[in-house]
A and B are shown apart, each in its own frame.
Chain A
């Protein structure tokens, strides 16, 4: 049996975050932390790196999910699953530059997220 993944969930909408967290935990994943801003995500990764990040793009605070991912990627080569209510046209090129990642269109269900995690994990 593989070592359980440690996940970092970055989503500023509390109810959506909570719903995803419960769904992921039911699916057997360990969600290390649920954060609402990019700044906190960067800080958290330096303190306690996770194996995978689920990142909303539009976040509270001044940093977007993409900006946060860029900073994190400099030090931690972890896969990132982005979620956005916008379109691939809006963010696609920037995300492609960041290396291993996936983009899911919102609304993201716990099931589709779990499938995406399995896919990126390989």
Chain B
């Protein structure tokens, strides 16, 4: 702290001393600090105050004297002296304590030899002073010897320094004490208000000597309660010898940090982190403790969680490996990885991906890893070599787990060798079955064609037209069936055929078969594209075969022109409707279609109503109309 001279000297007391001194030796003097404040002053000479400094012209010389003194202070030993043009002497002594310049002691306005009164009489005339009064004032100015002046200056300088030094020392002591007091007050507040518990214990008896509010709150005691107890009363270590041993150890080592457990007033326990310091000269322990219940619980939870994940990691049915992305070497891995690759843990830990990976080179693997780190995830199949040289098919699920700055390269290596084998066997078996089924459809169709040919041959050889006609009808029915087999053979799923394509091809065959009779018949079709299974397609085809054959044979006799309309549509999610109509010769109004004995009618009604569980309706209008409804959901796909 920077002090001023007035802080260090009792100004009033010093002024008093100076006055006393002046009473012995009339000696004008003053103490002026660095700011120019006159702290003490005495015995100014009338010659100066009433004459020289009052006359502006004369005062110029006084000011020169002041200036010279100030400019030469640094050369003072012990003082700097100046004889003013009026013949008086001025002195200044700097007050320097411990190298710091606090102010100056001025003395002067005296003569070092008797004054030349003629000179002063001339001065009076020059400046217009009252000569008598001026000379009287001059005569009052003391005359000193140089020795006297020197003794005086050394004395006064020494005196000021002693007083100032003493003042400085005193002030410093006061300041230091204030600092200590403030620091102690702060420490007290901190200790009392801090969240951690504080206690002071006598090392010899273990008695608690001081505690803070937190200590009381944590343990549920009042301050008075605790001050009546000893450490052993609150320490949850039941063995008092153990408490004593611990205190002894702390005393010998000076301080200790450890975990412990306190017993609260209500008997419950409190986990704490303790920091204890032994103050040897006072034989005291100072302790601070922090409630670590939450931390201990978090640690326990963390341990439990880690154990759980470790178990998951270890017991995973898949190999799990944490790879170092920079080297492709394993950092961590579970037992399953070792089992599936046939290595011991220590052996595996020394391997690199290059020792295991079959498809990618190490450089390719490292590039792949880099790419995965950019995208965060990848899933791919590869092959790995076991220790025994067997090649495994492995599904790799690589995941980059980012945690702050660090990234973990987590890989699941799932051995899919067996699955791949089974898949391949299944695919082969499926392909074989497909081939077999296509072959079967093909042969069935072929056999039907052979049967058709047999019938045609038989008819041709009979020479009987009715037999030939019968054989042709039957052959057409066979062909309608055989066409479904051909389409099934061609279909993608070997199970469904397109009714639109089937009906169109069937109609094309029939038109071809009745090419003579149908020369002037216009055929209009409107067939919705519906996929049907064989069990639906065949009866549907046979019905249509009968309707069309019957129509071509009877509805347009002797080349009568006309038209035939065929429409197939879905009327609801379960039901299809086949509408067949012609504008041919028709039937008599009394015609009862259900009472007809012909094979054709019976076939139509039987297939529609018995087999397809639908309904065959017959209307007589401008020609005839058949309206056949049936379900295409009676049969599920069989393959």
Contact = CB atoms under 8 A, between A and B. Distances in A.
A87 B482 contact: no
A22 B449 contact: no
B541 to A, nearest CB: 14
Contacts, number: 48
A107 B480 CA distance: 11
Q: Which of B450, B453, B482, B489 has most A Cβ within 10 Å?
A: B453
Interface string B483-498: 0001001100000000
Nearest to A86: B442
Contact of A19 (B448, B456, B479, B515): B456
A16 B453 contact: yes
Contacts of A105: 486
B486 A13 contact: no
Interface string B460-502: 1000000000000000000100100010011000000000000
B452 interface: yes
Given A85-B445, A85-B449, A86-B442, A107 B454 contact: no
B487 to A, nearest CB: 10
A112 B508 CA distance: 11
Given A13-B446, A85-B449, A87-B490, A111 B515 contact: yes
Contacts of A13: 446, 449-450, 453
Nearest to A106: B449
Contact of B457 (A18, A87, A107, A112): A18
A107 B449 contact: yes
A107 B482 contact: yes
A101 interface: no
A18 B490 CA distance: 28
Interface residues of A, number: 18
Nearest to B447: A13
B513 interface: yes
> Taking chain A's interface residues, is the majority helix, strand, or loop, or is none over half, making it mixed?
helix
Interface in A14-38: 15-16, 18-20, 22-23
B449 A16 contact: yes
Interface string A88-107: 01000000000000000111
Contact of B453 (A15, A85, A89, A112): A15
Contact of A85 (B454, B479, B486): B486
A23 B513 CA distance: 14
B64 interface: no
A18 B111 CA distance: 173
Given A22-B457, A85-B486, A109-B513, A15 B442 contact: no
B421 interface: no
A16 B452 CA distance: 9
A23 B456 CA distance: 9
Nearest to A18: B457
23 contacts: A15-B453, A16-B453, A18-B457, A19-B453, A19-B454, A19-B460, A20-B453, A22-B460, A85-B442, A85-B486, A86-B489, A87-B490, A105-B486, A106-B445, A106-B446, A106-B449, A107-B449, A107-B452, A107-B479, A109-B512, A111-B512, A111-B513, A111-B515
Interface of A: 13, 15-16, 18-20, 22-23, 85-87, 89, 105-107, 109, 111-112
Given A18-B457, A22-B457, A111-B513, 6 more contacts: A13-B449, A15-B457, A107-B449, A107-B452, A109-B512, A109-B513
Interface of B: 442, 445-446, 448-450, 452-454, 456-457, 460, 479, 482, 486, 489-490, 512-513, 515
Across the A-B interface, give the 3 residue pairs with the lowest CB-CB distance, nearest first: A19-B453, A107-B449, A15-B453
